[in-house]
Amino acid sequence: MSIDATPTTPTPRTAVVTGGSRGIGRRVATRLAADGYAVVVNYASNSTEAEAAVREVEAAGGQAIAVRADVADENAISALFDTAEQTYGGVDVVVNAAGRMPLAPLADLDLDVLDALYRTNIRGTFVVNQQAVRRLRPGGAIINLSSSVVGLAFPGYSAYAATKGAVEAMTLVLARELRGRDVTVNVVAPGPTVTDLFLQANDEKRVAQLAAQPPLERLGTPSDIAEVVAFLAGPAGHWVNGQVLRANGGII
């Protein structure tokens, strides 16, 4: 009997994180890397931040690459998944954290801004999920980012909340369309979370008001949200499917 002693290198589990250069997406990328995932950090324009995210992963002993792509461009996203497969052998987890958040009363919002918002938040989610469905290996997970503002109905958030309501709707339908695939599809809906996007959209007074609302009496952090995403991405969370998890400290 002969024994093949040639060592084999297992293909790493791989995660694609859109909007992975900053904010929640960046923390998700580093958190998944800590769990052993090779990470594809997608970004729209800020290559400096994207490369910094890659270096952060590598400094902790992980594997990562940065890939520029507009999430709403189906050809660019298809190429991103091609790169992930060619580099790491396949894709297991997709976290769609890319998004825009312009705020204004419904009566005042410029319709060009509305169209750009819908292109990124709705079409972008649809395009990324479409590629994920076609590519993910069994045991995988798709995790979309929504917002607790869908239920909180803060004034000024009508357009943004509408896009995130659409994200939640398509996610719940997709979970049912993937029957028999062993791929879960869930939404994480953060409450007010300290990111550049959040701080740019709210003045100091509003930030203080939002921080006081949850029973925990603080704003969320990207790490709070990344822990929820990591749970859903891993084997411990694989029985959770077709759900919206409102990670907001109990804000009502």
Q: Distance between CA atoms of 238 and 200, rounded to whole angstroms?
A: 35
Sheet with strand 141-145: strands edge to edge: 64-68, 38-43, 14-18, 93-96, 141-145, 184-188, 244-245
Residue 160 annotated among the catalytic residues of the structure: yes
Q: Distance between CA atoms of 237 and 1, rounded to whole angstroms?
A: 42
**Options 43, 88, 157, 160, the catalytic residue:** 160
Q: Are 199 and 207 in contact (CB under 8 A)?
A: yes
Q: Are 224 and 194 in contact (CB under 8 A)?
A: no
H or E stretch covering 135: helix 124-135
Q: Supply the residues annotated as catalytic.
A: 160
